[in-house]
Amino acid sequence: MKKSSKPLIVAVTSLLVLCTIIILISQGLQLKYEELQRELAQLENRIKTERNQSVALKANYQMLTSEDAIKEYAIYELGLVNDDSDPIRKITLSTEDVAQISESVWNENE
> pLDDT tens across 6-46, in order?
888 899 999 999 999 999 999 999 999 999 999 999 999 99
d(Cα 40, Cα 28) in Å, to the nearest integer? 18
Q: Looking at the predicted structure, is the pLDDT value of residue 100 above 60? A: yes
Q: Looking at the predicted structure, is the pLDDT value of residue 90 above 80? A: no
Q: Looking at the predicted structure, is the pLDDT value of residue 110 above 70? A: no
CA of 93: how far to CAs of 1, 35, 75, 99, 100, in Å? 130, 81, 25, 10, 11
Q: Looking at the predicted structure, is the pLDDT value of residue 77 above 90? A: no
Q: Looking at the predicted structure, is the pLDDT value of residue 83 above 70? A: no
Q: Looking at the predicted structure, is the pLDDT value of residue 1 above 60? A: no
